[in-house]
Chains A and B, each alone.
Chain A
Amino acid sequence: MHEQETSQRFERLVLPHLDAAYNLARWLTKRDHDAQDVVQEAFLRAYKAFADFRGDDARCWLLTIVRNACFTHLEKRRSHGGPATSLDEDLHDTGSYDANPEVLLNRQGDRELVRQSIERLQPEYREVIVLREIEGLSYQEIASVANVPIGTVMSRLNRGRQRLQMILSANIAAGDASAAQAKGGVA
């Protein structure tokens, strides 16, 4: 009977955060199949550790487990000769938000553009951006999920956002250039 109670409590407290778990895993691994594997693994670990969980809000607790499972998974992928994850090393940080707001706002709603741009971020920047902008966690919660001090969360968010706006601007410019070319305009 105790096992059933644990299971019911787990379903009630942890299962509602399945979407949050999958969302984070999908953004970090960038592949649906890997994300599903990671989430399954994470839920198994979560169930085993559930006896130690006190409290009502299991979201951050679960996301910590998911996040760790993701980074382990990414490590394995790298060591098996997977593609390099950091594609934005050629970006030079200007240290400020200097994108043109109108250029960005023109493309709001362009999910593909935004999705690709976020995926170009390195995992440690992508992680905090996703947790903040898409999952809506507070700095304190992000710090506990990513297991870093709040100051690190703040600086990673800063750099992550600055990089993201540069990537977005670059992608928009590239897209506009090829569209102009396609129309037979000057290259």
Chain B
Amino acid sequence: MNCNECQPLLGPYADGELDLVTTLDVERHIHLCQACGRASRALAALRTVLTTSGSSNGNGSPPLYFRAPESLRAQIVGQLPVGRIAPAKAALRRRWPMWSAAAAAMVALVGTLAVMLVQQHQPKANPDLAIAQEVIAGHVRSLMANHLYDVESNDKHNVKPWFHGKLDFAPDVQQYDEQAFPLKGGRLDYLAGRPVAALVYGHAKHSINLFTWPAAKDAPETGPTYENRQGYAIAHWVHSGMQYWAVSDTAQTTLQQFVERVTAVQSACHQPE
């Protein structure tokens, strides 16, 4: 690979959009070529500035990610036909103020029944379906309550020992790509009927929750499966007797890149520290 070929690939390389062979070619060239190495570092610095300038530093200036104002959210929800009611239905509302609450309860009940029916109709009950739901719920809860971390650190040497004595297992805590997927911290969570470890990684303005707990004794080792539920990307695999569930509201391709980093480190025979 020469510089003319490498230059236009620096961006896609940094974004993880190249196939493996080309990625390795670019990496090799960057290490050998001063000019392209410099350019690559300049690009990395730019992306670091874009990423880190978004995090909250409490000095009052707006973050790089603009969240919708609450008033806008309320307006949009009010715009929806169920809220913005035609005159006839409005009369109904006035007579029965509990209408919307009852409707919501009905929907929740029907939803639960639907899930139960689906589970009943499946010849083999799929426990993963239920866990996937819990994983999403856990992820959403951690974001809503702004309770992402019990221990906040980007150093695995701080995060891993924190779990000692709080769980009946030692989660494998690793750092992957400091720029694309920095470790942010960890916390205890409760899933699948037991305490689990949640490791939190960042990506741009998003958070990835990586849940892990010991798998059942006879659970087979499985490669990652991916799916999209309710707008969240989820990945699941079993490795070395441990369950892993990753969930985020990033694009599925992004989560896939994260999972590939994780499983690559897991496959390499390293001694747990």
Contact = CB atoms under 8 A, between A and B. Distances in A.
- Physical interaction between A and B: yes
Interface of A: 3-4, 6-8, 10-13, 15-19, 21-23, 26-27, 32, 35-36, 39-40, 43-44, 47, 56-59, 95-102, 104-105, 107-115, 118, 129, 132-141, 154-155, 157-158, 161, 164-165, 168
A116 to B, nearest CB: 10
B70 to A, nearest CB: 11
Given A97-B39, A114-B50, A136-B203, A58 B231 contact: yes
Q: How large is the interface on B (under 10, 10 to 19, 20 to 34, 35 or more residues)?
A: 35 or more
Given A39-B76, A44-B79, A97-B39, A134 B7 contact: no
A44 B79 CA distance: 8
Given A18-B73, A22-B72, A154-B12, A137 B251 contact: yes
B77 A133 contact: no
Interface in B217-263: 228-231, 249-254
What 5 pairs between A and B have smallest CB-CB spacing?
A101-B45, A22-B68, A97-B42, A136-B204, A26-B66
A56 B79 contact: no
Between A21, A102, A115, A136, the greatest number of chain B beta carbons within 10 A of the residue's beta carbon is seen for: A136
B69 interface: yes
B140 to A, nearest CB: 9
Interface of B: 7-8, 10-12, 15, 17, 38-55, 57, 61-69, 72-73, 75-77, 79-82, 103, 107, 203-206, 228-231, 249-254
